[in-house]
Structure 1
């Protein structure tokens, strides 16, 4: 968008734990210069025992930062700010404040939030269809369908849940794209509508009615703060994080319950 960014992220901590120290250092150097010691390490220079302890501590910290959302946003926002200031020929602060994040606790919360983000340009009336919504995940996914040679780095849709399912979103990409397209038409027409009956299958698997889906995909940020998910998942998150109360619990009961 012109003044803000929305992203749905999957933080794969386990994957970072199996990276070699050299891999971690190289990945960090793509973003930052690192230290003289990490540069020596990547070059294959000899490192003595005293230096090794310092290097190990540094690599441990780099590994943590590479799966830390705050560091991800720090690097992303700094890059955008530098480019915007260069374009406007100015200096100074670009972003108003710290980013906000919400934990998506189940499939219904995940897909409704994804659709909310993908439909942002349509709600803002700067695009008419998902395929013309620039810089969105749905546009990238549709491009990859039309041109399989285009590399898609987004989390894949892997079909219906099954045993030994590969890592990905447990729904059909075709179902998701069609559902987002129909939802976008309802939003664009600026009327209270219903999702086409043929698309009910994916909503049924999510446990949502078409009214719940339309509310979530147009007002997601309005109703949830720290986390989004069914009531049981929200209670588990509250206990895990030590919160006394979590905003959105009431909406979890009405919007993310089985229809």
Structure 2
């Protein structure tokens, strides 16, 4: 039996709560790994047409709250600019590739694939291992703006408090609130 297709809106900017768990026992995401995962997410948020609204990186899973933009937001000039920033100023994107990148750079599945593959390559190289790192496919839910979004962001930021890692969510540097408070943004 095939996979059930994800419900994805591509007709307007859409907010998603995205979650993914590791397949490894224990808590393989230690401080160094969380820093690297955050760097990968931040870099890809600049490449893709996505806004990172909230996040929390835990020892064995992560949550992202993202707004995926539509193809209309991805002008040819902006795609070329992001392509060169991602792959280097000397990188060449051919005219027929622009439309392919337009579809890819607004696609939640492609965004998550790049995050998870990029981190798995890093982790496996660092640990001199092979194989998968992440468990099942990522999970995603569409979120309405307003109270639903505010409640979700609170839920995500309170994850380390519920896990007993910190007393206050702003003390956890791998969450949206903690990141903003500790960076002074």
Q: TM-score range by the shorter chain?
A: 0.5 to 0.7
Match of 1:16? 73
Answer yes or no: is 1:130 the counterpart of 2:159: no
| Structure whose residues are more often helix by fraction | 1
Task: Return the alpha-carbon distance in structure 2 between the equivalents of residues 26 and 124 of structure 1.
Answer: 41
Q: How many angstroms apart in 1 are the aligned matches of 2:130 and 2:84?
A: 26
Q: Deviations over 1:165-222 (max 9, x none)?
A: xxxxxxxxxxxxxxxxxxxxxxxxxxxxxxxxxxxxxxxxxxxxxxxxxxxxxxxxxx
- Are 2:66 and 1:27 aligned? no
SS in 2 for 1:98: coil
State the Cα distance separating 1:82 from its structure 2 match.
1.7
Pick one of 86, 91, 100 that aligns with 2:130.
91
The count of aligned residue pairs is: 127
- Max Rg structure: 1
Question: Runs of 5+ in structure 1 lacking a partner?
Answer: 42-54, 149-259
Contact 1:28–1:66, Cα closer than 8 Å, also in 2: no
1:94-173 correspondence runs (5 A): 94-144=133-183, 147-148=184-185
For residues 19 and 135 of structure 1, the distance between their equivalents in structure 2, rounded to whole angstroms, comes to 34
Residue equivalent to 1:82: 121
Give the distance between the partners of 1:5 and 1:29, measured in 2 at CA.
29
TM-score, normalization by structure 1: 0.44
Label 1:94 to 1:69 Cα distance change in 2 as closer, same or farther (>3 A): same
CA distance in 2, matches of 1:126, 1:29: 40
Return the alpha-carbon distance in structure 1 between the equivalents of residues 137 and 85 of structure 2.
Answer: 24
1:246-257 mapped onto 2 (5 Å cutoff): none
Tell me, which stretches of 5 or more residues in structure 2 are unaligned?
A: 1-57
Q: Is the 8 A contact 1:16 1:66 kept in 2?
A: no
Shift of 1:134: 2.5
Per-residue CA deviations over 1:38-96 (Å, capped at 9, x if unaligned) read: 9445xxxxxxxxxxxxx333111101111111111111111221222233221101111
SS of 1:8's partner is: strand
Deviation at 1:17, TM superposition (A): 2.8
Deviating 4+ runs (over 6 angstroms) = none
**How big is the shift at 1:14?**
6.2
CA 6–61 in structure 1, closer or farther in 2 if over 3 Å, else same: same
TM-score (norm 2): 0.60
